[in-house]
Amino acid sequence: MWWSRPVTEANAEPREGIPSEDSARPVEIPALTGETRKAAETIFGDRLPLAERFVEHLATTGIEWGLLGPREVPRLWERHVLNCAVVGDLLPEGALVADVGSGAGLPGLALALARPDCTFILIEPLERRVAWLDMVVEDLELDKVDVIRGRSEQVSENLDVDVVTARAVSALKTLIPLTVPLVKGEGELIAIKGRSAAEEITAAAKVLKKFRMTTPTVEIVGEDLLEEPTTVVRAPIRRR
């Protein structure tokens, strides 16, 4: 396939924690069956074939380019794509959304597939990840998704979005200064978190005060669809 281009010197990044013998193994595309298929049909509707193509990219070029470890492949649907896509329920109609630290398009591309009414800006500093995101966006013909290479704090001046999303980028207290400046008026930070969500809110007290933010809430999303629903921290932003 045209998009199976190899890693070059120019886009090489360290493959942290990925044993090379694992990377060399042939990868099976995870099948979409049973309850997981039903959830995917509900979330993506007629865009399910595009979501399947996204998962195929993750399981092939995503591994080849070192964006994720081969051990993630069997759980790509449940733990990654669906877990992120259910957060789409929280986005306002037609919102402009910035996904900070998109990596392999999580949650940004999963959300773009679930919410075609919204527009997405994927912000990612690492060259190889940006090249992969550009390739997947082009292949899936996602004309409402832009990829920007840079650190969030470097590109925030020129952006004004309604919602900022992030998963696995940093703890809330450091995530807030990276993300809040992307909103110039009113908006929301939606951070996908794990069990540490409440502790992270407590630890972020000073930063929340500095940015004049009210205490964020912790919400569980996708309980009706997923065996392991998604925990998010929702932090309203009001900058005017």
Ligand X SMILES: C[S@@+](CC[C@H](N)C(=O)[O-])C[C@H]1O[C@@H](n2cnc3c(N)ncnc32)[C@H](O)[C@@H]1O
Catalog residues that contact ligand X under the rule CB under 6 A.
100-104, 106, 123-126, 129, 151-153, 167-169, 178
Residue whose token pair is 């009706």: 224
DSSP-H helix ranges across the chain: 20-24, 34-44, 48-59, 61-64, 83-85, 108-114, 127-139, 152-155, 172-179, 197-203, 205-210
Residue 156 is assigned to a ligand binding site: no
CB 6 within 8 A of CB 64: yes
In this complex, which beta carbon is closest to ligand X, that of residue 36 or of residue 230? 230
Q: Least distance from C-beta 172 to ligand X, angstroms? A: 14
Strand partners, 198: none
Q: Least distance from C-beta 81 to ligand X, angstroms? A: 11
Q: Least distance from C-beta 46 to ligand X, angstroms? A: 26
In this complex, which beta carbon is closest to ligand X, that of residue 78 or of residue 153? 153
CB 124 within 8 A of CB 102: yes
Q: Least distance from C-beta 52 to ligand X, angstroms? A: 19
Residue 167 is assigned to a ligand binding site: yes
Residue 129 is assigned to a ligand binding site: no
Residue 62 is assigned to a ligand binding site: no
In this complex, which beta carbon is closest to ligand X, that of residue 41 or of residue 157? 157
Cis check: omega of the bond before 70, within 30 degrees of 0 = no
Q: Kindly report the number of other CB atoms within 10 A of residue 139's CB atom.
A: 17
In this complex, which beta carbon is closest to ligand X, that of residue 43 or of residue 121? 121
Residue 101 is assigned to a ligand binding site: yes
Known binding-site positions for S-adenosyl-L-methionine = 101, 106, 152-153, 167
